[in-house]
Amino acid sequence: MPYHNYRILVAEDNYINQKLIRKLLNKKGYDTLIVDDGKKAVDLYDQNNYDVILMDIQMPVMDGYQATAYIREKEKLTGDHIPIIGITAFAMESDRQRCFRIGMDDYLSKPFNRDDFYDVIEKHLNLSETTSH
């Protein structure tokens, strides 16, 4: 079942990871935009409505922590809340906790498997758990 109405912003600076994420999201039919740093993600957040943001942690210009903190501050003014899913190669529990402390809603460790990737996104889009992959 395609999800053409859902808009996902991806902030990821690694080209190979961008290609993989784009392929996975396109397979489900999500409307996807990929940028390569946190500043670009913040700028697009300010200009558009997205249903989910996938946020790499380590990026140039503005990292995922800084971008998430900025978005959460803006949301305090608007009352909105967009799910932000952190994506990182750091797998320590302290890294995971930092993601949550800064305001991310969920976390995926790289490399992630396809089913976990879809499950996390679908959870934050409030899609049925019975959705097939």
pLDDT tens for the chain, 133 residues long, are 455 689 999 999 999 999 999 999 999 999 999 999 999 999 999 888 899 999 999 998 999 999 999 999 999 999 999 999 999 887 778 888 889 999 999 999 888 899 999 999 999 998 745 444 3
Question: What is the C-alpha to C-alpha distance for residues 75 and 92, in angstroms, rounded to an integer?
Answer: 28
CATH number of the structural domain spanning residue 44: 3.40.50.2300
Structure tokens at 19: 């290609």
Is residue 116, in this structure, part of any structural domain at all? Answer: yes
pLDDT of the residue at 89: 83
What average pLDDT does the structure give for the chain?
89
Is residue 45, in this structure, part of any structural domain at all? Answer: yes
Region label for 71, one of left (φ > 0), alpha (ψ between -120 and 50) or beta (otherwise): alpha
How many domains would you assign to the chain? 1
pLDDT of the residue at 126: 86
Is residue 66, in this structure, part of any structural domain at all? Answer: yes
pLDDT of the residue at 18: 96
Is residue 1, in this structure, part of any structural domain at all? Answer: no
Is residue 2, in this structure, part of any structural domain at all? Answer: no
Is residue 103, in this structure, part of any structural domain at all? Answer: yes
pLDDT of the residue at 86: 94
Is residue 133, in this structure, part of any structural domain at all? Answer: no
